[in-house]
Copies of this chain bind each other. A is one copy, B any other.
């Protein structure tokens, strides 16, 4: 039936998938190119091929959307990526800022058996080390509806850090530096509307956080004590 994608094709599908989360109407050639650090002509070429294989819907100049099959393939890659990240952190003691590149390689080993056994070995984790949800074997993704970016959270309320949007090494190192990690309790003391920076309290220490940071931290309200 449908052939299996190459590693490169998997990367394109994954990029289109993640771009589509914010722009369901379709991923543009340039956005994909930026994401994959490739040139627009390379992307244009590849979109034609992916369309021919039935993995995306695509009309010239109109951007790309995943087909049902394309989405399945992309979600499998995401599942593998996130499971390997959990493995690297939980079992091999890597830190959350070191695992991305390794997982980028491990994610391309395509074996349902391997993936599912790894999943079981890790005790069926629901999120990866950055708080991103791990698709289950059927491809379902459990998004946490209660999660909001910190810069939109309620003044005075108490939150738990449940995810980060920016998974770059530099950002994660910055969070380590401030003592923040998944599960940290945060109280939002003040929001400075003009630049969307925030004043928060973590572990009884107060901290002024830039808008870039506050926008890239996902929090969930803590139940009142």
A105 at interface by CB-CB < 8 Å:
yes
Docked CA distance A88–B106 (Å) = 14
A81 to chain B, nearest CB (A): 13
Q: Are B92 and A102 in contact (CB under 8 A)?
A: no
Q: Counting CB contacts under 8 A, is A118 at the interface?
A: yes
Q: How many residues of A contact B (CB 8 A)?
A: 16
B111→A102 contact, CB < 8 A: yes
A57 to B93, CA, bound (A): 40
Number of copies: 2
* Minimal Cβ-Cβ distance residue in B for A94: B117
- 0/1 interface trace, chain A 93-124, chain B, CB 8 Å (1 if under): 11000100010011001010110011001000
Whether A22 sits at the interface, judged by CB under 8 Å, is no
Decide if A93 touches B117 in the complex (CB within 8 Å): yes
> Is there a chain B Cβ closer than 8 Å to A91's Cβ?
yes
Taking the closest CB of chain B, its distance from the CB of A84, in whole angstroms, is 10
Given the complex of chains A and B, what is the CA–CA distance between A111 and B121 in angstroms? 22
Nearest CB of B to A158, in Å: 36
Minimum C-beta distance from A122 to chain B (A): 10
Partner of A117, one of B92, B109, B111, B114: B92
Please give, as numbers and ranges, the residues of chain B lying within 8 Å of A117 by CB-CB distance: 92-94
Please measure, in the bound complex, the distance between the C-alpha atom of A106 and the C-alpha atom of B84, giving whole angstroms. Answer: 12
